[in-house]
Amino acid sequence: MKIGITGTGSYIPTVLTTNKDFINHKFLNNDGSTFAYENDVVIDKFKAITGIANRRYVTNDLNTSDIAFFAAEKAIADAGIDKESLDYIILAHNFGDVKHGQSQGDTLPSLATRVKSKLKIKNPKCVAYDILFGCPGWIEGVIQANAFIKSGIAKKCLVIGAETLSRVVDDYDRDSMIYSDGAGATIIESSDENGEILAHASATYAFEESNYLFFGQSYSLEDTTTTNYIKMHGRKIYEFAVTNVPAAMKDCLDSSGLHISDVKKIFIHQANEKMDEAIVKRFYKAYGMQMPEGIMPMNIKELGNSSVATIPTLFDMVKRGKLENQAIEKGDVVIFASVGAGMNINAIIYRH
């Protein structure tokens, strides 16, 4: 029995925010002191490291569950299935629905339940739940769906990654320029005519690494509220990722029985262009090879880092021919790989 992706869909928010839009921000160090550089220098350095020029934000009237629903509708239509036949709806996110102007996440009821309601699915045996696994959440959801189907307790699963990080950023933190909003969805089912999950791997590093990404207060000393924002230790995350992600990808590929030369594309979490390039280069170096040109599709330049949504939206774009000079064909072997809060790492070897 082959278990694979039979439908994809994504939602790219409509509010375009460029790097120039941050030129008048007051960026501060984590101790509240001002930067030694002018904002144009900060922004240029940011672009050189992350590769991000633009990012997309949702309009004020939309929440994470709304855009997850939009992506889900497209995935269901793409797969050509009856929504009532879904056995599971698995929705990966980090902060729930954070309404415009608020900072508190709302997860009651779960976002997956909200999506099921918006889809108007009547079947009570369609089980809806959320997964909190940091940026690798969508991949972990696919791994769970694969296990459900392989065990025989499910036939069709909807797996979504959605986030509105623009609602939880500290305007005084230059890392706020990294984050964006978006949603991607996939239908996972057994089918002889579509792709196949060949191998997967997951890991959580929490002995010393658990707080590399965390919820913390504003860098502004004038902010006396108890509001918290997404924060990270960027250098520690970079060093962790470039060491551990290539090793996880290699273990996953080796367990699939395939050779590195079989890999056609690597869909890696769009976190930081330089970091992603370093990860993939080290992955190929482990096999004594150079990183092939065009192996790693990237949309971070235009879309920023939307956490759990980056890989499913990227895969959907490439599949639909919406990313210049990138395409996948039936039978191509691809790798999905991610790293994020937890610190969590996972990967999937997939034959399209």
Residues 6+ apart with CB under 8 A from 52: 19, 46, 177, 178, 273, 300, 301, 304, 305
Residue 186 has pLDDT above 80, yes or no: yes
Inform me whether the pLDDT recorded for 198 exceeds 90: yes
Cα–Cα distance between 48 and 306 in angstroms, integer?
A: 19
Q: Is the pLDDT of residue 247 over 90?
A: yes
Whether this prediction's pTM lies above 0.75 is answered by yes
Q: Can you give the pLDDT at residue 114? A: 98
**Cα 337 versus chain centre, distance:** 10
User: For residue 226, what pLDDT is reported?
Assistant: 83
Q: For residue 225, is pLDDT > 90?
A: no
Q: Which of 134, 107, 115, 30 is nearest to 72 (CA)?
A: 115
pLDDT-derived band at 222 (thresholds 50, 70, 90) equals: confident
pLDDT in tens, 300-351: 999 999 999 999 999 999 999 999 899 999 999 999 999 999 999 999 999 9
Which residue has 């057994």 as its token pair? 190
The percentage of residues in the chain with a pLDDT greater than 70, rounded to a whole number, is: 100
pLDDT of amino acid 67: 98
- Across all residues in the chain, what is the average pLDDT? 95
Give burial (CB, 10 Å; 0-12/13-18/19+) of 25.
middle
What mean pLDDT do residues 42-56 have? 94
278 has pLDDT over 90: yes
Of the candidates 316, 233, 228, 221, the residue with the CA atom closest to the CA atom of residue 267? 316
User: Which domains does the chain show, CATH number per domain?
Assistant: 3-194 (3.40.47.10), 198-351 (3.40.47.10)
Average confidence (pLDDT) over 247-267:
96
Q: Sign of dihedral through CA atoms 130, 119, 322, 142?
A: positive
61-97: pLDDT as tens digits: 999 999 999 999 999 999 999 999 999 999 999 999 9
Confidence at residue 293, expressed as pLDDT on a 0 to 100 scale: 92
